[in-house]
Structure 1
């Protein structure tokens, strides 16, 4: 018997995951707040703003009404931008409570909530009553939507405190080109997923400034060390950061032109202002808000994160990028394992 899944968020990643689940035999409903996007999807089976030159299955129905989208489903997959996750979760919680509906909650977004600096599983657990949810899980890893839609080989991780749910989700998503591993380290998977966007911004900026592969490798390696330091301070398993949602996600996000965070960093490196970059992108650049969150968390927890700090000063204090790089390079020498 096929499982019923509501995918909330019809951006590139949400619509591609909806297509994957449909292909695997699930009964999929796709929700978007944008009525014109829903109309296009249902009439033309396309999502032209986010996924070019692709026709979706006509067995996926898009909804503008959230109550309709989640009616009778077994799983709700959140793929909305980080900063609206709480508001959407509040609406979902009200609907579930009114219907006495119980579901498995999954999210595949990558970020940290502004001001609270909470991971998204924490936000979801705060908003959705335990009586209406069997589990909360997170899917993350090196997975550009543009590659998954062409059935490029992709490996990701599903993390949950409920390993029965994790294995069920593994079964929902796995096929011959999309492989998913289970983990119980939600903290590590979510922190790796969010903070790699900071490193992608930096990698794009280096490219825009004309730096080469050596500089990119240095940034990615030392950036991973920072992510691991912050993650383990919250109790994450350090091995998570050398896995798919750590080094794997950094590799793809910090090297691919499909990454909007990389593209944003590249434009900054080329001399555009942050305001210009945000306007030109037309989509949420998660790494910008995540940089502030990671910077503040590093101060609160006494964790040294020089790369994150440098990118924060460029984004929020208008620091000169070249001078900032020079300051990083001329810091006092130290052991690599510090």
Structure 2
């Protein structure tokens, strides 16, 4: 091999090695950029930035993100939404306009322009610093273009995922400041920190979320955590949700658990929803479990719903179960609604079944009504 060829191969190898590190950093425009390593520790580096920065500035880093189509960016108009990168943006960090969003594998990726066969690999965590404190946290995927509004922007490299989780967790569990208490929950740094933790591809995220779900944590935090356990954390998340379903003392939290189970991709999640629909001590929880079961097609879901109509002691739960039947695919739900309307001993339940049959616009429902009226 000639010297020129060897240099070409070496250059290609160096470029291939450098690409992952470059790919982690999003495209940042309108910023006074600097890069510095966090090899001495993320918390130490960020505290140094906080103590030195009185004027507004942004800092951030990237860590590996869980697998899936988790594109997180923002938009404020149709023109910005279909960005050339295949995602959305640019995201103006200093603007309150725009919507932070995440899409999963069920989303219509084609509506965003370029269709990517695989989702982003890195999560970008950003922190706005002012008056020597963090006043805003944002989480994006690496494919989102960011506009820093002309502010200083420090990009940190060599960040360890476990250190990132620990830093973000300190915001999740911190008491609300007076300023934060006047904002809506989705504007608070704690909510964005929780989202960022849930998307970390690291076991430290599982441990942190499990801690947030403990009964000694505030009810609101347990409820928000439940969603991410179902939406993002796979088998480990399901195990924690099952524990919450059995042990959490709050009916409100267990209601949130039913929804979290409904968004889980783990097959065993349906089994736990069925158990909650049958035997949870809270009637509202049973009703909520039935509602989400109604969004699931299949014999197991239909069987659990009809069992609740027959056996649950609360009429309100029975009514929720009838509604759940109406949410099943028509070939599953309409025959079951007709059976309930024809045979159930509770007149309130029969009336509810007939109401939802009337909303179905199904010819089988019309035939049933004709049969009843022409007797």
Task: Please confirm whether the aligned pair reaches a TM-score higher than 0.5, indicating the same fold.
Answer: no
TM range (shorter): under 0.3
| TM-score (norm. length: structure 2) | 0.24
TM-score by length of 1: 0.26
Q: Which of the two has higher C-alpha Rg?
A: 2
